[in-house]
Protein backbone atom coordinates (compact mmCIF):
# COMPACT_ATOMS: atom_id res chain seq x y z
CA UNK A 1 0.00 0.00 0.00
CA UNK A 2 2.90 2.34 0.75
CA UNK A 3 4.15 1.78 -2.80
CA UNK A 4 0.75 2.73 -4.17
CA UNK A 5 0.77 5.82 -1.92
CA UNK A 6 4.17 6.91 -3.15
CA UNK A 7 3.42 6.18 -6.84
CA UNK A 8 0.09 8.04 -6.62
CA UNK A 9 1.80 11.04 -5.00
CA UNK A 10 4.41 11.24 -7.75
CA UNK A 11 1.74 10.99 -10.50
CA UNK A 12 -0.46 13.55 -8.67
CA UNK A 13 2.38 16.08 -8.35
CA UNK A 14 3.28 15.71 -12.05
CA UNK A 15 -0.40 16.12 -13.05
CA UNK A 16 -0.72 19.11 -10.68
CA UNK A 17 2.20 20.86 -12.39
CA UNK A 18 0.72 20.00 -15.82
CA UNK A 19 -2.78 21.29 -14.95
CA UNK A 20 -1.33 24.42 -13.36
CA UNK A 21 0.77 25.13 -16.46
CA UNK A 22 -2.19 24.51 -18.79
CA UNK A 23 -4.53 26.86 -16.91
CA UNK A 24 -1.76 29.45 -16.61
CA UNK A 25 -1.59 29.54 -20.43
CA UNK A 26 -5.34 29.51 -20.99
CA UNK A 27 -7.86 29.58 -18.17
CA UNK A 28 -10.99 29.92 -20.28
CA UNK A 29 -13.81 27.38 -20.35
CA UNK A 30 -12.77 25.93 -23.71
CA UNK A 31 -9.47 24.57 -22.38
CA UNK A 32 -10.77 20.98 -22.60
CA UNK A 33 -7.33 19.37 -22.23
CA UNK A 34 -6.77 21.15 -18.90
CA UNK A 35 -10.28 20.21 -17.72
CA UNK A 36 -9.76 16.51 -18.47
CA UNK A 37 -6.27 16.45 -16.89
CA UNK A 38 -7.78 18.15 -13.81
CA UNK A 39 -10.40 15.38 -13.59
CA UNK A 40 -7.66 12.72 -13.78
CA UNK A 41 -5.76 14.61 -11.05
CA UNK A 42 -8.87 14.45 -8.85
CA UNK A 43 -8.96 10.66 -9.25
CA UNK A 44 -5.34 10.58 -8.07
CA UNK A 45 -6.26 12.70 -5.02
CA UNK A 46 -8.65 9.90 -4.08
CA UNK A 47 -5.98 7.23 -4.62
CA UNK A 48 -3.49 9.17 -2.43
CA UNK A 49 -6.16 9.60 0.25
CA UNK A 50 -7.29 5.97 0.14
CA UNK A 51 -3.76 4.47 0.11
CA UNK A 52 -2.62 6.85 2.90
CA UNK A 53 -5.61 5.88 5.05
CA UNK A 54 -4.94 2.17 4.36
CA UNK A 55 -1.29 2.54 5.45
CA UNK A 56 -2.45 4.39 8.56
CA UNK A 57 -5.16 1.90 9.52
CA UNK A 58 -3.00 -1.12 8.57
CA UNK A 59 -0.20 -0.02 10.90
CA UNK A 60 -2.39 1.12 13.77
CA UNK A 61 -0.97 -1.44 16.20
CA UNK A 62 2.66 -0.58 15.48
CA UNK A 63 1.83 3.13 15.65
CA UNK A 64 0.26 2.66 19.10
CA UNK A 65 3.14 0.54 20.37
CA UNK A 66 5.77 3.01 19.25
CA UNK A 67 3.87 5.91 20.80
CA UNK A 68 3.68 7.61 17.40
CA UNK A 69 0.00 8.67 17.53
CA UNK A 70 0.69 12.36 17.43
CA UNK A 71 3.22 12.35 14.58
CA UNK A 72 1.04 10.04 12.46
CA UNK A 73 -1.99 12.22 13.20
CA UNK A 74 -0.07 15.27 12.01
CA UNK A 75 1.08 13.39 8.86
CA UNK A 76 -2.52 12.45 7.99
CA UNK A 77 -3.69 16.02 8.65
CA UNK A 78 -0.86 17.47 6.52
CA UNK A 79 -1.71 15.00 3.73
CA UNK A 80 -5.36 16.03 3.70
CA UNK A 81 -4.39 19.73 3.87
CA UNK A 82 -1.99 19.24 0.94
CA UNK A 83 -4.73 17.80 -1.25
CA UNK A 84 -7.05 20.65 -0.22
CA UNK A 85 -4.47 23.32 -1.06
CA UNK A 86 -3.60 21.68 -4.40
CA UNK A 87 -7.25 21.82 -5.42
CA UNK A 88 -7.73 25.38 -4.12
CA UNK A 89 -4.61 26.66 -5.92
CA UNK A 90 -5.89 25.29 -9.24
CA UNK A 91 -9.48 26.52 -8.80
CA UNK A 92 -8.25 30.03 -7.86
CA UNK A 93 -6.02 30.13 -10.94
CA UNK A 94 -8.93 28.96 -13.09
CA UNK A 95 -11.10 31.77 -11.69
CA UNK A 96 -8.33 34.33 -12.22
CA UNK A 97 -8.32 35.18 -8.52
CA UNK A 98 -5.70 37.48 -7.05
CA UNK A 99 -5.04 34.90 -4.33
CA UNK A 100 -3.85 32.25 -6.82
CA UNK A 101 -0.13 32.94 -6.28
CA UNK A 102 -0.47 33.04 -2.48
CA UNK A 103 -2.26 29.70 -2.54
CA UNK A 104 0.38 28.22 -4.82
CA UNK A 105 3.15 29.24 -2.36
CA UNK A 106 1.22 27.78 0.62
CA UNK A 107 0.55 24.67 -1.45
CA UNK A 108 4.25 24.15 -2.25
CA UNK A 109 5.16 24.63 1.42
CA UNK A 110 2.63 22.00 2.61
CA UNK A 111 3.68 19.55 -0.15
CA UNK A 112 7.34 19.83 0.97
CA UNK A 113 6.40 19.49 4.67
CA UNK A 114 4.21 16.42 3.97
CA UNK A 115 6.86 14.68 1.86
CA UNK A 116 9.56 15.30 4.49
CA UNK A 117 7.28 14.09 7.27
CA UNK A 118 6.09 10.97 5.38
CA UNK A 119 9.63 10.01 4.37
CA UNK A 120 11.10 10.42 7.85
CA UNK A 121 8.33 8.53 9.71
CA UNK A 122 9.14 4.85 10.53
CA UNK A 123 7.81 3.38 7.24
CA UNK A 124 9.30 6.08 5.04
CA UNK A 125 12.35 5.65 2.81
CA UNK A 126 14.38 8.21 4.74
CA UNK A 127 13.72 6.88 8.24
CA UNK A 128 16.57 5.44 10.24
C1 LIG B 1 -0.56 14.98 -1.51
C2 LIG B 1 -0.60 14.57 -0.28
C3 LIG B 1 0.43 13.64 0.34
C4 LIG B 1 1.79 13.60 0.16
C5 LIG B 1 2.67 14.51 -0.69
C6 LIG B 1 2.28 12.48 0.98
C7 LIG B 1 3.63 12.07 1.06
C8 LIG B 1 4.06 10.92 1.69
C9 LIG B 1 5.39 10.35 1.59
C10 LIG B 1 6.52 10.91 0.73
C11 LIG B 1 5.41 9.23 2.36
C12 LIG B 1 6.59 8.28 2.55
C13 LIG B 1 6.45 7.11 1.58
C14 LIG B 1 7.70 6.24 1.50
O15 LIG B 1 8.77 6.65 1.90
O16 LIG B 1 7.61 5.10 0.97
C17 LIG B 1 4.11 9.10 2.98
C18 LIG B 1 3.77 8.12 3.88
C19 LIG B 1 2.55 8.06 4.52
N20 LIG B 1 1.42 8.82 4.24
FE21 LIG B 1 1.31 10.30 2.93
N22 LIG B 1 1.22 11.89 1.63
C23 LIG B 1 0.06 12.57 1.26
C24 LIG B 1 -1.22 12.31 1.68
C25 LIG B 1 -1.55 11.43 2.70
C26 LIG B 1 -2.87 11.24 3.24
C27 LIG B 1 -4.11 12.01 2.77
C28 LIG B 1 -2.75 10.30 4.24
C29 LIG B 1 -3.80 9.73 5.14
C30 LIG B 1 -5.06 9.87 5.03
C31 LIG B 1 -1.38 9.89 4.31
C32 LIG B 1 -0.86 8.95 5.19
C33 LIG B 1 0.43 8.44 5.13
C34 LIG B 1 0.93 7.42 6.03
C35 LIG B 1 0.17 6.76 7.17
C36 LIG B 1 2.27 7.18 5.64
C37 LIG B 1 3.27 6.21 6.30
C38 LIG B 1 4.16 7.02 7.21
C39 LIG B 1 5.47 6.33 7.50
O40 LIG B 1 6.41 6.55 6.75
O41 LIG B 1 5.56 5.62 8.50
N42 LIG B 1 -0.67 10.60 3.36
N43 LIG B 1 3.29 10.12 2.54
Residue nearest to atom 13 of ligand 1 (CA): 124
Give the separation between CA 43 and CA 63, rounded to whole angstroms: 28
| Residue 101 in domain | yes
Ligand 1 pocket (Cβ < 6 Å) reads 2, 5-6, 9, 12, 48-49, 52-53, 55-56, 72, 75-76, 79-80, 82-83, 111, 114-115, 118-119, 121-125
The answer for residues whose C-beta is within 8 angstroms of residue 102's C-beta and 6 or more apart is: none
| Residue 128 in domain | no
Mean pLDDT of 58-86: 91
| Residue 126 in domain | no
| Residue 64 in domain | yes
Neighbours of 41 (CB within 10 A): 21
| Residue 127 in domain | no
Q: Is the pLDDT of residue 47 over 90?
A: yes
| Residue 125 in domain | no
Structural domain count, the chain: 1
| Residue 37 in domain | yes
The answer for residues whose C-beta is within 8 angstroms of residue 101's C-beta and 6 or more apart is: none
Give the separation between CA 58 and CA 1, rounded to whole angstroms: 9
Residue nearest to atom 11 of ligand 1 (CA): 118
Q: Is the pLDDT of residue 127 over 80?
A: no
Mean pLDDT of 34-49: 97
| Residue 28 DSSP label | S
- Better-scored residue on pLDDT, 126 or 119: 119
**Domain membership of residue 15 as a residue range:** 2-120
Amino acid sequence: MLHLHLTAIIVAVILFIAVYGMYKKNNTRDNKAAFITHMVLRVFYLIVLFSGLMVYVGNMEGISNSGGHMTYGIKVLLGILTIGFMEMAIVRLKKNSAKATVLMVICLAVIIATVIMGATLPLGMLSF
